[in-house]
A = this chain, B = another copy of it.
């Protein structure tokens, strides 16, 4: 399936933590560049997410803000 979300960043799961409802994970998309994600625990289990697994970090363009120093 192709998806309208314009940000699809391939990477590898570095770490994942599970709570009773949510799971928090960190994906390394390039050396030294990491993306943090929070999804439901149910999705994380369904997708069998674990450290080392190759995944995509996907973000809708309207969820991206811009900062300027």
Contact = CB atoms under 8 A, between A and B. Distances in A.
Interface string A36-69: 1111101110011100011111111111111111
Contact of A33 (B2, B3, B33, B39): B33
Contact of A7 (B5, B6, B36): B36
- Number of this chain's copies in the assembly equals 6
Report whether over half of chain A's contact residues are helix, strand or loop; otherwise say mixed.
strand
Interface residues of A, number: 51
A57 B66 contact: yes
Interface string A18-37: 11111111010110010111
Interface of A: 1-9, 17-25, 27, 29-30, 33, 35-40, 42-44, 47-49, 53-69
